[in-house]
Amino acid sequence: MKIHLLPMGARFEYEGEVYSKTGPMMARSEAGVTRMVPRYAVLTPLDGAAPAAAPASGDLRQAFAEFYAVCQGLVPAAAQAELAAARDRFLARLP
């Protein structure tokens, strides 16, 4: 498993030592030493740690709709068509 798939606080083994995830790429060993864990590192999750669940597609679409509504108010009228086209391209790539 890769570090970016573990939730914060998850315990894992890496290079023979046990760590807890403290940041996106940071971990603290049981001895209290903090180190960076490369994204390419293969980790062994402990305590049944599972990857964080991806947001549901409906939640993502709702969040984007709210974001897009704010953007519409910020973008000048002359650029609204380009903004709408970008929205359509984004939504087309969602599952």
pLDDT digits (tens, 9 = 90+) for 66-75: 999 999 999 9
Is position 51 within any domain? no
Whether 54 has a pLDDT exceeding 70, the answer reads: no
The rounded radius of gyration (Å) of the Cα atoms in the chain is 20
1 vs 37, which has greater pLDDT? 37
Residue 7 sits in the same domain as residue 37: yes
Question: Rounded to two decimals, what is the model's pTM?
Answer: 0.52
Q: In which residue are the tokens 């509504």 written? A: 69
Whether 16 has a pLDDT exceeding 80, the answer reads: yes
Domain count, the chain: 2
Is position 50 within any domain? no
Region 3-8: mean pLDDT is 90
- What is the per-residue pLDDT for 95? 78
Percent of the chain scored above 70 by pLDDT? 92
Residue 61 sits in the same domain as residue 41: no
Domain residues for the domain of 80 are 57-93
CB distance 34 to 22 below 8 Å: yes
Residue 8 sits in the same domain as residue 40: yes
Return the exposure string of 20-44: e unless at least 16 CB atoms fall within 10 Å of the residue's CB, then b: bbeeeeebeeeeeeeeebeeeeebe
Nearest to 8 by CA among 20, 71, 18: 20
Residue 11 sits in the same domain as residue 36: yes
